[in-house]
Structure 1
Amino acid sequence: MYLADEAWPDLETYFDEESLALVPLGSTEQHGPHLPEGTDHLIAEAFAREAAERTDYLCTPTVTVGVSPHHRQFHGTMWADAPAFRDYVESLTRNLTYHGIDRVVYVNAHGGNVEHLREVGRRLRDSGDAYAIEWMWNDSIPDLVEEVFSQPGPHGGPKETSLIQYLHPDLVHDDRLEAARDGGLVDWENHPGALQNGARTFYDAIDNTPNGVLGDQTDATAEKGGRLFEAATDQLVQLCEWLSGQPFEALVPKEHV
Structure 2
Amino acid sequence: MRLADATWTDADATAVDVVLLPVGSTEQHGPHAPLGTDAFTAETVAERAADAYDGTAVVAPTVSVGVSEEHRQFTGTLWVSPDTFRSYVRETVQSLAHHGWTDVVVVNGHGGNVPALGEVCAAISRHDDAYAVPFTWFDAVGEHASDMGHAGPLETAFLRHVDPDAVREDRIDDAREGASERWGEWVSHTNLAHDSAAFSENGVVGDPGEDSADRGAKLLSLAVEALRDLADAVVERDDDPVPHR
TM-score tier (shorter)? over 0.9
Gaps of at least 5 residues in structure 2 are none
**1:212-245 deviation line (CA, Å, top 9, x unaligned):** 1111111121111011111111111111112111
Aligned ranges for residues 141-160 of structure 1 at < 5 Å?
141-146=141-146, 152-160=147-155
Which residue of the partner structure matches residue 226 of structure 2?
235
Which residue of the partner structure matches residue 194 of structure 1?
185
Which residue of the partner structure matches residue 73 of structure 2?
73
TM superposition shift of 1:119: 1.1
Say whether 1:180 aligns with 2:175: yes
State how far apart, in whole Å, the 2-side matches of 1:215 and 1:143 are: 16
TM superposition shift of 1:97: 0.6
Which residue of the partner structure matches residue 110 of structure 1?
110
Q: C-alpha root-mean-square deviation of aligned residues, in Å?
A: 1.5
State how far apart, in whole Å, the 1-side matches of 2:189 and 2:211 are: 32
1:223 to 214, 222, 225: 214
TM superposition shift of 1:13: 3.0
State how far apart, in whole Å, the 2-side matches of 1:237 and 1:231 are: 10
State how far apart, in whole Å, the 2-side matches of 1:118 and 1:247 are: 20
Which residue of the partner structure matches residue 169 of structure 1?
164
Give the aligned length: 243
- Please say if residues 19 and 100 of structure 1, whose CA atoms lie closer than 8 Å, have aligned partners that are also in contact: no
State how far apart, in whole Å, the 2-side matches of 1:248 and 1:198 are: 36
Give, as a single letter, the amino acid of the residue that structure 2 aligns with 1:256: H
- Please say if residues 145 and 228 of structure 1, whose CA atoms lie closer than 8 Å, have aligned partners that are also in contact: no
Which residue of the partner structure matches residue 47 of structure 1?
45
**TM-score with structure 1 setting the length:** 0.90
State how far apart, in whole Å, the 2-side matches of 1:184 and 1:177 are: 10
1:27 to 10, 25, 30: 25
- Please say if residues 21 and 101 of structure 1, whose CA atoms lie closer than 8 Å, have aligned partners that are also in contact: yes
Give, as a single letter, the amino acid of the residue that structure 2 aligns with 1:84: T
Q: Secondary structure in 1 aligned to 2:186?
A: coil
Gaps of at least 5 residues in structure 1 are 147-151
TM superposition shift of 1:36: 0.4
Q: Secondary structure in 1 aligned to 2:209?
A: helix
Amino-acid identity (%): 38
State how far apart, in whole Å, the 1-side matches of 2:80 and 2:144 are: 32
Give, as a single letter, the amino acid of the residue that structure 1 aligns with 2:244: H
**1:194-229 deviation line (CA, Å, top 9, x unaligned):** 222343211000111111111111112111101111
Q: Could you tell which deviates more after superposition, 1-10 or 31-40? A: 1-10
Give, as a single letter, the amino acid of the residue that structure 2 aligns with 1:235: A
Give, as a single letter, the amino acid of the residue that structure 2 aligns with 1:40: D
Which residue of the partner structure matches residue 195 of structure 2?
204
State how far apart, in whole Å, the 2-side matches of 1:30 and 1:76 are: 7
- Please say if residues 52 and 59 of structure 1, whose CA atoms lie closer than 8 Å, have aligned partners that are also in contact: yes
TM superposition shift of 1:145: 4.2
Give, as a single letter, the amino acid of the residue that structure 2 aligns with 1:206: A
Q: Could you tell which deviates more after superposition, 29-38 or 194-203? A: 194-203
**TM-score with structure 2 setting the length:** 0.94
Cα distance, 1:184–1:45 mapped onto 2, change above 3 Å: same
State how far apart, in whole Å, the 2-side matches of 1:153 and 1:45 are: 18
TM superposition shift of 1:54: 1.8
Q: Secondary structure in 1 aligned to 2:83?
A: helix
Which residue of the partner structure matches residue 85 of structure 2?
85
Q: Secondary structure in 2 aligned to 1:218?
A: coil
TM superposition shift of 1:135: 0.4
TM superposition shift of 1:247: 2.5
Q: Could you tell which deviates more after superposition, 22-31 or 214-223? A: 214-223
Q: Secondary structure in 1 aligned to 2:132?
A: strand
